[in-house]
Amino acid sequence: MSEMTLVEAINLALARAMEDDPDVIVLGEDVGINGGVFRATAGLQTRFGSERVLDTPLAELLISGLCVGMAAQGLKPIGEIQFMGFLYPCIDQLVNHASRIRNRSQGRLTCPMVLRTPHGAGIRAPEHHSESTEAMLAHIPGLRVVIPSSPERAYGLLLAAIRDPDPVVFLEPTRIYRAAKGEVEDNGEALPLDVAFVLREGRDVTLISWGAMLKETMAAADALAVEGITAEVVDLATLKPYDEVTVLGSVAKTGRCVIVHEATRTGGFGAEIAALIAERSLTSLLAPVARITGYDTVIPMARLEQHMMPSVGRIVTAARKACQFS
Amino acid sequence: MASKKMADGGLPVVARFEVRHRNYLAPDGSINRPLPAFASDANLLVSLYRAMVLLRSFDRKAVALQRTGRLGTYAVSLGQEAVSVGIASAMRSEDVLLPSYRDNGALLWRGVNPEEILLFWGGDERGNHFSGPVEDFPFCVPVGSQAPHAAGVGYAFKLRKEPRVAVCLFGDGATSKGDVYEAMNFAGVHKLPVVFVATNNQWAISVPLRLQTGCETLAQKAIAAGFIGEQVDGSDVVAVRAAAEEAVAAARDGQGPRFIEALAYRLGDHTTSDDASRYRQEAEVQARWREEPIARLRAFLVGQKMWSKAEEERLAAECHERVEAAVERYLATEPRRPETMFDHLYAELPEVYAAQRRELAGEGDV
Ligand SMILES: Cc1ncc(C[n+]2csc(CCOP(=O)(O)OP(=O)(O)O)c2C)c(N)n1
Ligand SMILES: [Mg+2]
């Protein structure tokens, strides 16, 4: 066990996967000698060579398409997209190929690839570096969409993603790459995909979030505890397919739910969860489901980005309101 | 390269291509071949020189601001000042510039105020609402994605029979993107008035050119799109300007697109977020300093008695003053109110989002 940051845990999982399985290939822009712009692939090229850790030309569609071809050949490619804002050219490959080659070929060809990319705002980065469009990806059948919120889960979930026989988009919460620290044991053990983690148990209200926003969500739970409100905090962790059982179980217990995400509100993944609860658990609700989200506008650059993102205050207010409702 | 030859088997040659390299000034400022006509215009050469010096002092200040927490990530032009300045100098104000994120020299030449550039890199969208030509595009951060826009702009010019040219700047890394190939292909099909310029500074962050392409030149990529690609010495502003002048004139004249590969070297880190010592040798960088464009043009100008030490000192003081004044205006810019993030989202903000705007303004919640 040693204490490390989230990005170090990613690096550790990548190294472990490459060590364990010669089919694992890491590819992307600047992943080689530079070790990635966030240092997630630091040291890998020195250790595993430039055939298995390759700097690609600057072309994101290429990176995702190469992964599809390599994966169909039985390799386990892990592509890195430098920022989520540059992932959009990959949508063609993800929608038309990665996610459906198994289905199209009726199981003859498969696509065990991982596409990693930093997710979210809050690091005062330039334009197009602060995207959180996970809902777009979670809309694609056949894909898995995973986002860890701690070093330990980053390590275990990334190993799971790499070993999974289907394509996974692995979103890495940029804002807590270095801010989140925790004990990680390099035991090669994967965590389960498609399972939500209950980070804190509570009776009065369920707070559901993922990625970096769990920081504010946990802080909100602390603040609510001071007022005598016990919040249950669920880290969804896998958005596609997601753990409906844990969500519904928690809401059945608390009767109240606040969903927190930094992505814009309309069509965000919170809408999916709210719809699930409305369909399946309406009678257990003591208050309307609330969403605390980014606003329905373009993510602003550094000067205003903090105003876009859900604050602890907004989460607390929504949870308090739900508790006061009945 | 012999390895690239295929056995000809007596088959006829159906096409042959060549790529030319243009250079006038040697690194020491001496002349390699007869200069183009514009080079007899001392005022023009001096104005190119002044623009490059201004750009370098602006860059230096911007990095200082970033290091002291008053600016966000910033990309300097160190070593490639001649490209953006030389290219922009051949454009008319009614032409349209489509820059990358490293083309401040072109923006400044076209009338963008330095404080507007700082505002953008300081994380404020108002920097994009600049004083340059109103139809110019803003900085483009997603690499290469502005190239198709250039083809679209060129198409509009052609459709309306306007004698205007779209000029698109990007890096060597960008030439690997489909966006750039697709744009060039379309421009070639329709013989559009577009000039594509690749500043080949040898690096895309840590990725060297040899991992970007198997080609001897980037210029030859134009050949596959059906138009002329030329390589120029991008540290020789006379060569850049000459190539740009010719390309822009041909495009304006209806002869179709051109591609210019400007060979240069990125003497600085990729941006203020980068540490190039992780991936390249300092000795390589040092060796490239002897080619840099400002000293080269200065040596030429001084040799021609077009420039003196006194003028150099005056220019340094002038640039310092201009940059400091711009920084003052930048730092004094009124902060934006949070709700302005909804401004210019749509021509008219739909009522469903107006409530969110009010929440941000502190006028009740959603
Ligand atoms: C589509 C896209 N992918 C990745 C990035 C991250 N990135 C920013 S600049 C850069 C390298 C660009 O190299 P080049 O085109 O040679 O231009 P230069 O920076 O050298 O001027 C990369 C990978 C980006 N901005 N856009
Ligand atoms: Mg470059």
Contact B273 A37 (CB under 8 A): yes
Continuous segment of H or E residues that includes residue A27: strand A24-28
- Mean pLDDT taken over chain A: 98
Residue B8 lies in a domain: no
The total of structural domains in chain B comes to 2
* Strand stretches in B105-208, DSSP E: 166-171, 194-200, 203-204, 207-208
Residue B5 lies in a domain: no
State whether residue A208 is helix, strand or coil: strand
Pair B73, B221 in one domain:
yes
Contact A57 B213 (CB under 8 A): yes
Which of A58, A64, A81, A128 is the pocket-test mutation for ligand 1 (most atoms within 8 Å of CB)? A58
Contact B338 A58 (CB under 8 A): no
- How confident is the model over B123-131, as a mean pLDDT? 97
B137 at interface of A, judged by CB pairs closer than 8 A: no
Pair B331, B366 in one domain:
no
Q: How does residue B364 score in pLDDT terms, banded at 50, 70 and 90? A: low
Which pLDDT score, from 0 to 100, does residue B7 have?
80
Residue B264 lies in a domain: yes
Question: What is the rounded distance in angstroms from the CA atom of residue A95 to the CA atom of residue B250?
Answer: 42
Question: What is the rounded distance in angstroms from the CA atom of residue B121 to the CA atom of residue B58?
Answer: 13
Pair B358, B244 in one domain:
no
First to last CA, chain A: 45
Pair B210, B348 in one domain:
no
Q: What are phi and psi of A153, to 5 degrees?
A: -75, -30
Residues of B in contact with A133 (CB under 8 A): none
Pair B230, B365 in one domain:
no
State whether residue B198 is helix, strand or coil: strand
Pair B284, B210 in one domain:
yes
- pLDDT above 90 as % of chain A: 99
Pair B251, B345 in one domain:
no
* Strand stretches in A93-201, DSSP E: 114-119, 144-146, 168-173, 181-184, 197-200
Distance of alpha carbon B169 from its chain centroid, rounded?
Answer: 5
Rounded distance from Cα B320 to ligand 2 centre (Å): 28
Q: What is the DSSP track for B235-268?
A: T-HHHHHHHHHHHHHHHHTT---EEEEEE----S
What are the pLDDT digits (tens) for A137-184?
999 999 999 999 999 999 999 999 999 999 999 999 999 999 999 999
Q: How does residue B331 score in pLDDT terms, banded at 50, 70 and 90? A: very high
B341 at interface of A, judged by CB pairs closer than 8 A: yes
User: Peptide bond before A241: cis, by omega within 30 degrees of 0?
Assistant: yes
Pair B343, B277 in one domain:
no
What are the pLDDT digits (tens) for A114-141?
999 999 999 999 999 999 999 999 999 9
- How confident is the model over A228-235, as a mean pLDDT? 98
Residue B261 lies in a domain: yes
Host domain of residue B129? 15-26+39-335
Rounded distance from Cα B204 to ligand 2 centre (Å): 4
Pair B313, B357 in one domain:
no
Q: Which residue intervals of chain A bear CATH 3.40.50.970? A: 2-184
Residue B9 lies in a domain: no
Predicted confidence (pLDDT) at residue A304 exceeds the cutoff of 90: yes
What are the pLDDT digits (tens) for B344-363?
999 999 999 999 999 999 98
Predicted confidence (pLDDT) at residue B2 exceeds the cutoff of 70: no
Pair B97, B223 in one domain:
yes
Which pLDDT score, from 0 to 100, does residue B6 have?
77
Rounded distance from Cα A187 to ligand 1 centre (Å): 36
Interface of A with B in 46-75 (CB under 8 A): 55-59, 61-62
Pick the CATH number of A197-324 from 3.90.1200.10, 3.40.50.150, 3.40.225.10, 3.40.50.920: 3.40.50.920
Predicted confidence (pLDDT) at residue B365 exceeds the cutoff of 90: no
**Was domain A2-184 assigned CATH 3.40.50.970?**
yes
Continuous segment of H or E residues that includes residue B185: helix B178-189
Pair B222, B189 in one domain:
yes
Q: Which of these, B341, B251, B261, lies nearest to B83 by C-alpha position? A: B261
Pair B308, B359 in one domain:
no
